[in-house]
Structure 1
Amino acid sequence: MDLIIFNDGLYQLVPVTEKMLKDVVILQDLSCFDLCDILRLKLTTYVESINIHMMNNSNSNFIGCIC
């Protein structure tokens, strides 16, 4: 699974690592898209005024996931 990140005018694929999933407790079988939603909530902040999800650790935007 890869995250799609938009940074400096380019789309980048970022592989999901164990470090990203460190605090995530999975209690049942999840689809790839459910896991994508969990990572989006963990790694981003929603900016309502411009309707985007900004990554917490950079100026890049979270677009979605490739499963």
Structure 2
Amino acid sequence: GARARLKPEAVAGLTGRPLDEGLPGQWIQPYWLWLTARDAGGSLAVQADEGRVALTIHMPN
């Protein structure tokens, strides 16, 4: 929707970066998603545009 956005903590988690500042609760779930995809041999892509957030996970066959 028009208000879709990602907080900086979520972006850090979704890209596998450690939490620098911000709320750990906003970081841990995105980080867990990134870590799960990576540990399974896959990848996670994030695209955030005005009013739209897309998460794409590619997993090996």
TM-score higher than 0.5 here?
no
TM-score norm. by structure 1 comes to 0.22
Please state which structure has a larger fraction of its residues in strand.
Answer: 1
TM-score norm. by structure 2 comes to 0.24
Tell me: higher relative CO, structure 1 or 2? Use CA pairs within 8 A at least 6 residues apart.
Answer: 1
